Structure 1
Amino acid sequence: MEHITITVATAESISTIQQIGKETFYETFSGSNTKEDMQKYLDENFSEEKVKSELNNNESMFFVAWDESLPVGYLKVNVGAAQTEDQGNTALEIERIYVKSSHHGKKVGQMLYEQALVTAEQLKKDTIWLGVWEENPRAIRFYEKNGFFAFDRHIFKMGDDEQTDIMMRKTLSPLVK
């Protein structure tokens, strides 16, 4: 899409990240979780303090997808100690690719994923990994289409509910180094 642009998020992006995060997480997962668990997750994980802390972490990077002047998605990647599970110093974690439902099927997620690849190349990483909810077949297919394979599972806490994420990995070409 020629009118979609990707920019690096800055400290001034807190409200944009909060808004996209809350909206897309709710759109995607509210039907499968209790109102209480959903509200608790949104309040804790998209609070101003939490987002500010994540944006200020030198081992995390955010990128925002814009449709003209409207933010429609974002990417969060982690390296080093910022990874949600230690996968080593040669790995880059895609913690989040969130895209508003209004822009599903418009290649925004693919563009954000491609930004993760560029970032991994710039940082000379040889592996990209992520966790995806086992009950999110659309996301699983997206990652499989992009060359990821399952290698493990971990527990994701959604309020008081323990859910299983499939951990997926992609080994990058030696040309990345």
Structure 2
Amino acid sequence: MDTIIIKEVGPADLESLQQISRQTFIETFAGSNTEADMEQYLQQDLSAARLTGELADPHSFFYFALSGDTVIGYLKLNTGKAQTELQQEHSLEIERIYVLQACYGKGVGQVLYEKAVAVARDQKVAYIWLGVWEHNLRAIRFYDKQGFVAFDKHIFRLGKDEQTDIMMKKMLS
């Protein structure tokens, strides 16, 4: 694999963002969820209108992981009121780190995670937090290795299905 390059995502990247968002979400969760729930999530939460709004939010940040000119993963970070849950000024949420299944085990997630830490340090936040589906053991192991600890749970709605996310955080200072 070529060197992984991180590129900030802007409004002109909407089509690529929607494509990588949908593809990685399907690859990660389609096997464990109903087609109807998946379709509802894709239509509502990963619609062009929703992603356009998220891109316009000054407290949300998107980054692509590129191998050459190919988008192989992406990262979404939230600060302040854009955070889905805690909304504390001294925290940063990793809302999404997704990588194409074909690139698993090649360090792409690690590079995206390191970008999240760099942004958190630039923002001078005290900690990073995230929610991860309780059945996504691969992701939980990844975050455990990075030093995250579970501190709570919350409900994530996928279509009509209410799923439990483990909330994890890592102190930076």
**TM-score category by the smaller chain?**
over 0.9
Partner letter of residue 137 of structure 2? P
Number of the residue aligned with 2:75: 75
Q: What is the aligned partner in structure 2 of residue 99 from structure 1?
A: 99
What RMSD, in angstroms, separates the aligned Cα atoms of the two structures? 0.9
| Separation of aligned partners in 2, 1:30 and 1:117 | 29
Structure 2 partner of 1:22: 22
Q: What whole-Å deviation, never above 9, does each CA across 1:106-141 have from its counterpart, x for those lacking one?
A: 000000000000000111111000000000000000
Could you say what secondary structure the match of 2:135 adopts? coil
Larger mean Cα displacement after TM superposition, 8-17 or 134-143: 8-17
2:151–2:167 Cα contact (<8 Å) kept: yes
Shift, 1:99, TM fit: 0.3
Secondary structure in structure 1 of the residue aligned to 2:109 = helix
Q: May I ask how many residue pairs the two structures share in their alignment? A: 173
TM-score normalised by structure 1 residue count: 0.96
Q: TM-score, normalised by structure 2?
A: 0.98
Q: CA deviation at 1:86?
A: 1.9
Structure 1 stretches of 4+ moved >4 Å:
none
Percent of matched pairs sharing the same residue? 52
Contact 2:132 2:165 in 1 (8 A): yes
Q: Which runs of 5+ in 2 are unaligned?
A: none
CA displacement at 1:4 relative to structure 2: 1.1
Contact 2:91 2:126 in 1 (8 A): yes
Partner Cα distance (1:127, 1:4) in 2: 26
